[in-house]
Amino acid sequence: MNALIKTDYRFPLQRSRYVGKVRDVYDIDGRYLVMVATDRISAFDVVLPRGIPYKGQVLNQIAAKFLDATADIVPNWKITSPDPMATVGYKCRPFKVEMVIRGYLAGHAWREYRAGKRTLCGLSLPDGMKENQPFPSPIITPTTKADEGHDADISREEIISQELASEADYIRLEEYTKALFARGTRMAAEKGLILVDTKYEFGKKDGKIYLIDEIHTPDSSRYFYAAGYEERLAKGEPQKQLSKEFVRQWLIENGFQGQAGRQVPEMTDDYVNSVSERYIELYENITGTSFRCADTHELQERIEKNVNNCLKNLI
């Protein structure tokens, strides 16, 4: 199974290429973006040394599904997905914040809480909460959007004072975030899942706010299985979850949390294949449909051909 680790295309009217942790983004004529979801995998803001076959396809197709399913809430950047691993859409000027929303005390929020912190992004958290316990209502805990290195927690007041968003725009971002999370929660419940937390990224085009990047994927979201949730919570047992958290836990168990100078544990063929299988499981559970593995024999060439055919009709 081939894994797509790197791309370096030369599309018509291409202005630039941005390489993110997972996605490679091509600027086409300053008007459109081609976003290729590679098979790279990151955790603790570190790109791991091996790619995960079919991971990019999983992420791209889940994101496309949820962008289409939420377009009535907020306009989004997607025009079309011409390839299982690529989406073509409008170029927007991004807000330099990620809108993280949490329905449950889990992941980063729990690690901060367990360390004794009772304030997160300017919000007060009640004493006496347990891991994976629901908040009375979802809380928004934004982070900075770092070009390099670690994203950092940031408060509403800091976002506005640092002019990362105007007060009027930030109010709209919060409204969209809550509405998207409510839709995602309802769609997850229909599949027997709990949407625990997620993040959204937004941008502006022609004075209008757009939803950009991915949405409700296992890289940007955490899901629990609804069946057995209450019992596990009562017993203080770990929840059965659909997210990238299992990769983070594997790294933690092997002594790695993104620290400078620490080496990433060896990713054996068996481990890589097991992660690939987990991502396919995530896809099938989140979407309720069977995953069809795309042909990876000439992966680079397939993507280039499909995107070029798409761009002929746009530019």
Average pLDDT across each block of 10 residues of the chain; the chain has 315 residues. List them in order.
93 96 96 97 90 96 97 98 98 97 96 96 96 97 80 95 98 98 97 96 98 92 95 95 85 89 90 93 93 95 98 93
Distances (CA, A) of 164 to 94, 143, 161: 10, 11, 8
The pLDDT of residue 244 is 83
DSSP per residue over 233-263, as a string? HHHTPPPPEESTHHHHHHHHHTT-SS-TTPP
Query: So what's the pLDDT on residue 241?
Result: 84
Give residue 149's pLDDT: 59
The pLDDT, as a whole number, for residue 176 is: 98
Which residue carries 């100078």 as its tokens? 261
For the chain, give the number of residues: 315
- Give the span between the Cα atoms of 24 and 292, in whole angstroms: 23
Q: What stretches of the chain adopt beta strand conformation (E)?
A: 14-19, 23-28, 32-37, 42-43, 46-47, 78-83, 86-90, 93-94, 97-104, 119-120, 123-124, 134-140, 143-144, 193-205, 208-212, 221-225, 241-242
- The pLDDT score that the predictor gives to residue 261 is 80
- Contact in structure between 256 and 262 (CB atoms under 8 Å): yes
Query: How many CB atoms within 10 Å of residue 30?
Result: 10
For each of the domains in the chain, give its residue range(s) and CATH number, in order of start.
Answer: 14-92+247-312 (3.30.200.20), 94-242 (3.30.470.20)
Considering the entire predicted model, what is its pTM? 0.90
